[in-house]
Amino acid sequence: MPEIAQTVDPEKLNVFVGRMLGDLAAVTNSVLVHVGDQLGLYKELATSGPITSAALAKQTGTSERLIREWLSAQAAQGYVSYDKESGAFSLSPEQAMVFADEDSPVFLAGFFDVARGLFDDTPKIVNAFRADGKLAWHEHNGCLFCGTQRVFRPAYNHHLINEWLPALDGVVAQLERGARVADVGCGHGASTILMAKAFPNARFFGYDYHPASIEAARQAAAREGVADRISFEVGTAKTYPAKEFDLVCFFDCLHDMGDPVGAARHVSETLKPDGTWMVVEPFAHDRLEENFNPVGAVFYAASTVVCTPASLAQEVGLALGAQAGEARLNKVITEGGFTHVRRAAETPFNMVLEARL
Please tell me the distance from the alpha carbon of residue 92 to that of residue 74, in angstroms, as a whole number: 13
Residue 230 domain-assigned (yes or no): yes
Measured CA to CA, the distance from residue 7 to residue 9 in angstroms comes to 6
Q: Are residues 136 and 95 in the same domain?
A: no
How much is the pTM?
0.90
How many domains, in total, are found in the chain? Answer: 2
Task: Calculate mean pLDDT across residues 27-44.
Answer: 95
Q: Which amino acid is at 185?
A: G
Per DSSP, 341 falls in state E
CA dist 51 and 48 (Å) reads 7
Identify whether the C-beta of residue 81 lies closer than 8 Å to the C-beta of residue 90: yes
CA dihedral of 217, 223, 225, 226, whole degrees rounded to 10: 0
Last residue of a domain, one of 74, 100, 126: 100
156 pLDDT band (50/70/90 cuts)?
Answer: very high
* Identity at 270, one-letter amino acid code: T
Write down which residue in 100, 123, 143 finishes a domain: 100
Residues 166 and 294 in one domain: yes
Residue 1: pLDDT over 50: no
Query: 135 lies in a domain?
Result: yes
Q: What is the pLDDT of residue 289?
A: 97
286-324 pLDDT, tens per residue?
Answer: 999 999 999 999 999 999 999 999 999 999 999 999 999
Residue 141 pLDDT: 86
Fill in the amino acid letter for 134. K
Domain of residue 127, residue span: 111-356
Q: Do 148 and 187 contact (CB within 8 A), yes or no?
A: yes
Q: What is the mean pLDDT of residues 188-210?
A: 96
Is the pLDDT confidence value at 247 over 80? yes
Element (H, E) at 58: helix 53-60
Phi, psi angles (nearest 5°) of residue 321: 80, 160
How far is residue 230's CA from residue 208's CA, in Å, rounded to a whole number?
Answer: 14
Same structural domain, 155 and 92: no
Show which of 80, 100, 120 is a domain's final residue: 100
Estimate the crossing angle of helix 122-130 against helix 109-120, to 10 degrees. Answer: 60
> Does the structure show a pLDDT above 50 at 254?
yes
Same domain, 177 and 256: yes
In whole angstroms, give the CA distance from residue 293 to residue 289.
Answer: 9
